[in-house]
Amino acid sequence: MSARLAPLIVSLVFLTAHQTVTSQAGGGQNGFDLVDKAGSIRKPADVRDLYRLLGTYTVELDPKGEEMHVTYASPGAAQYYRKNGKFADGTVLVKEVLGTNHGPMTTGDAHWASDTKVWFVMIKDDKNRYPNNPLWGDGWGWALFKADAPDKQVATNYKKDCLGCHLPAQSTGWVYVQGYPVLKSK
């Protein structure tokens, strides 16, 4: 290899590695890769393997039963939030709702997740991209997938299907951020 070209090659290699890392750590969120031209939302693949945990809620259902709500975010989402106090345009949140099992363990009565019931998906949209699609509004795209057909989006209107449960979180951008410690510190 000529001495003149070696620095170029080295630079290219480092540049590529750098981009691979920063595309995850920076604010670049590509949630719109999951959306077609009409605003239909696909569920992202391999969320458990690729996304990061925001946090877990356990919910004691009325009259009885328990759920675990595990919320994942696209890579880099929490870093951006800590820096800017909000989610980046294109951020994807996935809330997986599971049943639970429980039993006595060495530290007390322990509860853990069992089977998945549904997934809620939200995609941050700062530009009101789909004003005529009833699954987009209030700064987000909203979607619902059920375990019996995990790739079929079944919500029809976010105001009817989604917003009711999110109303108490309106002042924090419709997201229950108090249960997500990573948004405050890494």
Residue numbers at the binding site for a copy of itself (CB under 8 A): 1-2, 5, 8-9, 12-13, 16-17, 20-21, 25, 46, 48-50, 52-53, 55-62, 67-68, 70, 72, 78-79, 98, 101, 105-114, 116, 164-168, 176, 178-179, 181-182, 186
Closer residue to a copy of itself in complex, CB, 51/130: 51
Residue type, 36: D
Closer residue to a copy of itself in complex, CB, 72/136: 72
Contact present, 67 and 119 (Cβ < 8 Å): no
The three-point CA angle 68-83-177 to 5° equals 25
* Least Å from the CB of residue 27 to a copy of itself: 14
* Least Å from the CB of residue 120 to a copy of itself: 12
Contact present, 104 and 111 (Cβ < 8 Å): no
Q: Where are the alpha helices (DSSP H) in the chain?
A: 6-25, 47-50, 77-84, 158-161, 163-166
Closer residue to a copy of itself in complex, CB, 129/146: 146
